[in-house]
Amino acid sequence: MPTLCRPSVSVPEYVITMEETLEFAKRVHGGKPQLPLALRLIQNTGVQKRHIVQPIEEALRHPGFEERNRIYESESKKRCPEVIEQALANAALTARDIDAIIYVSCTGFLMPSLTAWLINSMGFRFDTRQIPIAQLGCAAGAAAINRAQEFCIAHPQSNVLIVSCELCSLCYQPEDDMVGALLSDGLFGDAVAAAVVRGTGGTGMTLERNSSYLIPNTEEWISYAVRDTGFHFQLDRRVPGTMKPLAPVLRELAASHGWDVRNLDFYLIHAGGPRILDDLSKFLDLDRGMFRHSWSTLTEYGNIASAVVLEALRRLFDEDLLTSGATGMIAGFGPGITAEMSVGRWTVDTSADTSQEMDRGRPDALTSYLQ
């Protein structure tokens, strides 16, 4: 069974607090009739701070779509390699052991995908498959995990690297003053995350079953309007209520695996906002504390889009309370409205087995592993 190993997550050095967010919103959007409601909604998110790739004064400026995309390219190339190297080390592998790279991001656009640059600059094999996912938004992290599981099942002994690079601050639009846009300005943060799904071996969550679901006729509820000034985030007020129809889908996934969704040992849920987490815990009849890793991510980093589920998993690893066989669920939600979900068991690999690298004829991987 494929195993999702310990992620590596990095957030940028520039920090903006909720208090600063509220002050900037008042200054930039002062006098707008919808501002008081937006300020209340931002306060209710519970996001205490977020990390962004530029100083706040630079982030508030709009230098144009071309320049923003240039910043996205330079910052992603600057920040991804270190995170990837740590994720590979966490999985006791090297770049030569990776058979596919799934790169997810909805906050910038590159063609060729950053996967091509990673292969050329970080020592990945030239026959490494490239699987970029650009349009699933916050659901893409969980989707990447599901696609990695399927790849490993289709190609036994394979390893898949997942990379999430979300620089949400580069999508700020100073002229957008609808409530949904203003709320997003106080909710989203920047982060880079990576994790390896090993086809065999490894400690982490062994992925046993996954599913996808799209709520009918909701494709306009979360969307981008692509204009001369770039990506304009659009959020329908009905989005927070989507956990009511999605909770039965999660319940059915667990039941199809012979499990009761109320009795799992851990849950890694996309932290889209407090209403999402509160409603899902209510509809699944779960204690709010079972989503503690998602809550912590939301409070300390904001909604970091597709990177949320990997950051929640990192916190689960750091907590170090699980024993082999513990059951759990991952769920990500995004545009569509799309849900990507998986269930599996916690696996602790104590063998320190290097036979995979030897069998695959990669002595460089074994050397690196033993160093």
Residue of higher predicted confidence among 28 and 280:
280
Tell me which amino acid residue 84 is. Answer: I
pLDDT digits (tens, 9 = 90+) for 276-318: 999 999 999 999 999 999 999 999 999 999 999 999 999 999 9
Instruction: Give the pLDDT band (50/70/90) at residue 28.
Output: confident
173-226, pLDDT tens digit by residue? 888 888 888 888 889 999 999 999 999 999 999 999 999 999 999 999 999 899
Q: Which of these, 49, 18, 54, 6, lies nearest to 311 by C-alpha position?
A: 6
- H or E segment and range at residue 86: helix 65-90
Read off φ and ψ for residue 82, nearest 5 degrees: -65, -40
Ranges for all domains in the chain classified under CATH 3.40.47.10: 3-198, 204-346
DSSP 265: S
How far apart, in Å, are the Cα atoms of 81 and each of 121, 187, 349? 9, 26, 26
Check 5, 80, 106, 138 and give the catalytic one. 138
Residue 80 annotated to the active site: no
CATH of 3-198, one of 3.30.70.1150, 3.40.47.10, 3.30.413.10, 3.40.640.10: 3.40.47.10
CATH number of 204-346: 3.40.47.10
Q: Are 61 and 314 in contact (CB under 8 A)?
A: no
Cα distances (Å, whole numbers) of residue 273 to 138, 230, 280, 285, 290: 12, 24, 11, 19, 16
Give the pLDDT confidence score for residue 338 in this predicted structure: 97
Q: Please give the pLDDT value at position 352.
A: 53
What is the structure's pLDDT at 362? 41
Q: Read off the pLDDT of residues 144-168 as tens digits, 9 standing for 90 and up.
A: 999 999 999 999 999 999 999 999 9
Question: What ranges in 91-197 are assigned the alpha helix state H?
Answer: 114-122, 140-154, 179-185
Quote the pLDDT of residue 283. Answer: 97
pLDDT of 177 reads 81
The DSSP bridge pattern shows strands 8-10 and 14-17 to be unpaired
